[in-house]
Amino acid sequence: YAPWCPACQQIEATWESFAKESERLGITVGKVDVTQEPGLSGRFFVTTLPTIYHANDGVFRRYRGSRTLEDLQGYILERKWEAVEPVAGWKSPSSIMMHGMAGLFHFSGWIRQIHNYLTGTLGVHIWVSYAIFILATLLIGLLLGL
């Protein structure tokens, strides 16, 4: 979820109720703020918010059902998750590829921090910051090419 997301805000009360029922259901319920954990959004390839996953014994399934409390509980109690195709091996959050995707998301966050430092703290004009990144990209490409 993300705190600014209207759909996430809409499901928040339901999700909190679901979390309160987690002990009775024999599960653990959590939520991750993708603005604070960009690596996880990359690892799970989150493209829409909110995104719900069911994980059991290292097998991940994306929940795409209704987001009512009754349907979420039914998904667990009636073991509906067994009928859902697990995330493909190469797209699994534990795969090497998704580990690399998480690294790219972390890297993009690092670049954003540098940009904010240059423009916000040092007062560098935004286009000068862009020019610095363009030059850095070209130089790194030239060095790697050599």
Closest of 33, 60, 66, 72 to residue 49, by C-alpha = 33
Query: 4, 7, 8, 120: which is the annotated catalytic residue?
Result: 8
Backbone angles phi, psi at 121, to 5 degrees: -80, -50
Residue 7 tokens read as 């759909």
3-class SS at 59?
strand
Closest of 90, 87, 1, 6 to residue 40, by C-alpha = 1
Active site residue 8: yes
Residue whose entry in the numeric block shows the structure tokens 């309160």: 20
Query: 1, 2, 5, 31: which is the annotated catalytic residue?
Result: 5
Residue positions annotated with a catalytic role? 5, 8
